[in-house]
Structure 1
Amino acid sequence: MKMYLISDNVDTYTGMRLAGVDGVVVHEHDELYTALQNVLQDKTVGIVLLTEKLEREFPDIIDEFRLERKMPLLVAIPDRHGTGRKKDFITSYITEAIGLKL
């Protein structure tokens, strides 16, 4: 299975291309929707990497994609601007998931 990147900036796209991950750069709502539909046509793609900025800007598309599909897996990654997550997001995620404070 392959990975595919949908990015909002050329720097992230270039870095992932150097690592062997194909992808596309999008900026608009319709471009993101079209890119996700194109990825669904390629059955060899198992993981779609998406920059956190796109996830924040277009939650309607992302939520629809995640709710309606099991594959490919959609993973939000930080880009050159850093992450939008708080510093202890992993600890709080575990606490919320299992109800145990670490």
Structure 2
Amino acid sequence: MKFYLISDNIDTLTGMRLVGIEGQVVHTRHDFLNLLKEKMQEKDIAIILVTTKLIELAPDVISEIKLKQPKPLITEIPDRHGESKIGEAIDGYVSEAIGVKL
């Protein structure tokens, strides 16, 4: 099983390649969703890493996939620009799921 990166910038892709993770750079929602669909069909990919900026292009689709698809795991990663609100997103998911604001 392996990782795969879908990134919006070459810097993140270069860094991941240094540790052996292959990937591709895309910039549009259409290209992102097509590549994601393609990579989700590959049996040897267990985890797809996606930069925050791309997640923000299609949050509805990503949420649906995370709820309904057991594999591969789609994980949001911040890029070099920071500004990630992953912790807030997790709080929101938990609050919505259990009905208690954290």
Rg comparison, structure with higher value: 1
Residue 57 of structure 1, CA deviation: 2.2
So what's the TM-score if we normalise by structure 2? 0.80
Structure 2 residue aligned with 1:63: 63
Moved more, 14-23 or 59-68: 59-68
Runs of at least 4 residues of structure 1 off by over 6 A? none
Equivalent positions of 1:11-90 (< 5 A) are 11-85=11-85, 89=87
Q: Secondary structure at the match of 2:75?
A: strand
So what's the TM-score if we normalise by structure 1? 0.80
**Equivalents in 1 of 2:43, 2:17: separation in Å?**
20
Q: Secondary structure at the match of 1:21?
A: coil
Give per-residue Cα distances to partners, 1:17-67, cap 9 Å, x unaligned.
111001111111110111111112210100000001111222122123223
Runs of at least 5 residues in structure 2 that lack an aligned partner in the other structure: none
Moved more, 5-14 or 75-84: 75-84
**Equivalents in 2 of 1:56, 1:34: separation in Å?**
16
Give the percent of matched residue pairs that are identical in Structure 1 and Structure 2.
45
Structure 1 residue aligned with 2:4: 4
Runs of at least 5 residues in structure 1 that lack an aligned partner in the other structure: none
**Equivalents in 2 of 1:37, 1:55: separation in Å?**
14
User: Size of the alignment, in residue pairs?
Assistant: 96
